Structure formats: C-alpha cells, structure tokens
Amino acid sequence: MSLPAQATAREGINPLRSIKTKFILLLLAVSILPLIAVGWFTYAVSERILQTQVTNHLVSVRNLKAEQIETFFLQTADDIRLAAKLPTTAQAAHDLSQQPSSTIRNRTDGYDSYFEEIVRFKGYDDIFLISADGEIVFRHSHIPLQNDPLLDTALTGLFKTLHSDPTTAGPIIVTLPPTSESNEALSYFMGMPIIADSANLGILVYQIPYASLEKILNSHTESTPQQSKISLALISPEIDPADQAASDIIDTAGLELALAGESGVNRVVDSQSLPFLTAYQPLAIGNQTWGLIVETNEDQALNSLRSFRTSAIWITGLVILGVGSLAVLIARTITQPISNLTTVTTAIAEGDWSQAVVVTGQDEIGLLAKSFNKMKVQLQHAFATLEDRVRERTRALETSTEISYQLTAILDLDQLLKYVINCLKKEYNFYHTHIYLLESSEPKLVLAEGTNPAWTNPQGRHYYIDLDTSGSPIAHAARTRDIVIIDNVHQANKWSPEFIMADTQAEIAVPIMVGMAEALVGVLDVQKNELAGFSDSDARLLRALANQVGVAIHNAR
C-alpha cells in the first residue's frame, strides 16, 4: 500500500469520530452504564431498607422504653397509694404534726425504721411527710431545707395541688430540676394525700431519683442491630429540652413535639453536620405529659452500606479498566480490517488499481473484503471498457441523426419501412425488429415490415394483432402509449410475447406516434438474444427514433 494513500486515509478521519473510538465508547456505555445504574439502584434501595430497619428499631426501643417507664410510674403510684392508706403512715403524719420542734433533724422518733425499709426496698432518694397545714414535718434523710429553697418550692407546689381536693386527687408528680445553687440532683416528687376517717392528715411524698429512670432507659439499648449507639432522653414539662439533662440530645424539636403530645420519627443534623435518626413520643405520667426520644447516628447505623459503596466504587473502577482494555482489543480486531479497506478505497480513488484488501477472516468483514475485491475487478473492467462504450454510444447517436436525415428524404412507405429495419439491424446490431402499423379501418396492428424470416412467407403479410389483445406487449404499448420492456420473454408471466425468434431473450415494444396529440401510427418491436438486454438509454433512443419514424410515415402517406 502506498504511503500517500495511507496519509490521505488518515488525514480524512477525525480520531474522535472514528469507528474505533465510537465502538470503544459504545462498549463502555453498554457495559458500564447498566452496571452503574444497577449499582446506584441497589445502593439507594439498600440505603432506604437499612434506614427503615434502623428507624423501625428506634421505634421499637422507644415503644419498649415508654411502656417500661409508664409501668414504673404506675407501680410507684400504686405503692404510694398503698403506703398512704397504711395505719402506720397515718399515725406518723398525726404524731409528727403534733410535735413542736421547728426542725426535722431534731424529730427523732420511732418512724425512721418504717420509712427506711420503704426507701431501701424501693430505692427512693427520700421520703417526706407534709402536714395538713403545709409544714414539712418529716424528711427521712434529715437534711435541713433552709439551704435548698428550690426543694422547698417544689414541695410547696405539690402541697398546693393536692390540698385543693384531697379526697379525689391521685398521685401528683412534680420535677426538681438541678441547678448550680441546688444540692439536689435531677429527681421527681410523687405525692399522695393521707386520708384517715375522711380527715386530711397531710401528704406522703416520695423523691424518685433520675438514676432509677436512667437505669430503665439504658438497659439493653446500647446499640442498634447495625452497631450504632442509641441515645435516649426523658423529660418532664418542667425541664427545658436544652437543659443539662438532655444536653446530649440533638433533636430538641422532637422533644418539644413529644411534650406537646405528638409522636413521630425524624432526621436531623447536628452542629457538626452529622445526620441523626430520631423517634419521639409523649408519655402519660400521673397528671403530666412527658417526652421520650430515641436517637442514633445515621452514619454509624449505615456504616456497612458506606463500606459497600466504597467497595462498589473500587469494583466499578476495576471493571471500567478491564472493559476498557477489552473494548480497545475488540475494537482493534473489528476496525483494523475496516481501516485497511478505507486505505485501499482511497488508493483506488486516486487511480491505483493495484491495491487489494487482505482477507483476514471468515466473518462478515472478511466477506466484505472478498466482495470489495470482486467489485474492484468489475470496476477496473468497467473503467477499461468505458471508452469503448462511450464511442459506441456516440456512434449510436450519430447513426440516429443520420437515420433521421434519411427518413425525411424517403417518401415511399415500403422503402421507408425497409430502410428503418435494415438500419436497426446493421447499425445497432439488434437481433430482430418488426414494425406494426395501425389499421385505419379496424382496431388492429398489422405487421408491415421485419427481419423475421417468416416475413418471406406470403402468409406472413397478413399477420396482425388485435388492439385489445390481453397479454400482448405490442397491443399494450399501442393502447397505453408507453414503452413495454420484457427482460426475459421465457419467464414473463404477465406477457404472452408473439412472433419471436427461438433465441430471443428480451423484447421491447415502443409506440410510434406523431404530433402533439400523440396520434398512434404503429408499434416498433425490437428483440435481443441476451437477458435484460435493453437499458434505459436504449429505450430513450428507440422512442426518439420511433417518433422520427412516425413523422416520416405520416409524410409518406
């Protein structure tokens, strides 16, 4: 292959638009895009499923803890109701209210062991007795109240609530929030009126430590099944969601909704832009509505999915690398023969007929190479014979011009017809030619002249074809004024050719007309001894000649 041909082929193709590049991109797209789509879909669905599992687990933990805490307070309420009805409690309230001592520390009596057993068995922080007049007459821990005004305020509020209707009021709960001035940790007071013989002797108060509730919150809830840490918080209406007790909670808005009596799940982001999944709900504790919330770090909960995503990215990268290498190899295998074919066609276009495509396979490309080599031989032959065909066509046109000139000079009809038949035989080398003339008195075409030996038979002079004969190409050309071409007279199912020679293969019937009105004069019937021997150029030439013959016949008549 010549270097100029190679250079021309390379210059004519933009590498970015080459078949090789497109094929590589197509293979990558077909291989990688579905993989990426399936991977992304799998990741999204897995994330949604895992997120739902984590959320469902949080809701389960929330519901479990809500039930445990409500049960704890219900049991405590039952305990304090029972204790408030015991004769010993009523006697203690009566006796301690009668003592003149102004401080709890100096009230030594025989009730310490009684209340000590309750504290030790139930795990309360302290027990208080408040007289019917609102005075704290007993504190089990004997710690003076003067240094803890917040405690005094909480107990006073509890007393006022229960004292308003001691006969019907159940256990009442108030919260003692921790402050920097208070000596108390976060705790809760539950109070119950002490009624004996329809008389209000005072109020029995249990101080419940937050640690008891914290123990319930933290039991068997350290993490989700996905090993992410769970945080829980429980607050009462007296606690601000942003207070120290709930300082580790991210979704303070969820706590506020829980305090407002709403349940739900949420996804929030902390100050460091870390996502958290939360589940919150209200709790009915005594006369109050509390809030419970459960949280977990979403990234930790979905850590396994993040690991899967990283692995998937690496795997996708390796697949892209592998598929890319395979695509280059396959593209080279397929496009290299095409590139060689392009180079050869470029060389042939520049006139180098010595080039041939090397056939390297038995596939479609190999078949294309073989077909191209055959086509090249045919083209080479066509180019070699083109001048001969041009000369032949030029001579045919010159002959047509000469015939046209001679036709104008012949006025005898028989002589005119013989001249046309002989010229077509001699100059155009047609196998056989007939001229049919339209009978003026009858709708039939009479054979007027021809090269068929049967013409020498006297019977032949009376041969004719009815104009309405079905299947006759000659009659059809006369009726329609159109040329009829039959490529193979022996396989023409539509036509029934008449008056043909034994070696005739193809036939053409051309109407002979005259004038602008295209008045029918007759039909020129030409036969060849080769299949499909009439081309479009032959048809145009014969039509032009038939028109000239029509004018000459009109003039001769």
Per DSSP, the three-state class of 79 is helix
CATH number of 408-556: 3.30.450.40
Q: What is the pLDDT of residues 393-449, one digit of tens each?
A: 677 677 777 777 777 778 888 888 888 888 888 878 888 899 999 998 888 999 888
Q: In degrees rounded to 5, what are phi and psi of residue 449?
A: -160, 150
CA distance 525 to 32: 67
What is the band of 8 on the pLDDT scale with cuts at 50, 70, 90?
Answer: very low
Point out which residues pair with 448 in neighbouring strands.
none
CATH number of 212-302: 3.30.450
What is the band of 183 on the pLDDT scale with cuts at 50, 70, 90?
Answer: low
Count of CB atoms within 10 A of residue 439's CB?
13
Assess contact for 533 and 517: CB atoms under 8 A.
Answer: no
pLDDT given for residue 397 in this prediction? 72
Stronger pLDDT, 304 or 126, i.e. the higher one: 126
CA distance 115 to 25: 85
Helix (H) or strand (E) holding 25: helix 19-85
Query: Could you tell me the fold of the domain covering 86-211?
Result: Beta-Lactamase (3.30.450)
CA distance 327 to 332: 8
pLDDT given for residue 101 in this prediction? 54
- pTM over cut 0.75: no
pLDDT given for residue 247 in this prediction? 54
Q: What is the pLDDT of residues 41-54, one digit of tens each?
A: 877 887 788 888 88
pLDDT above 70 covers what percent of the chain? 83
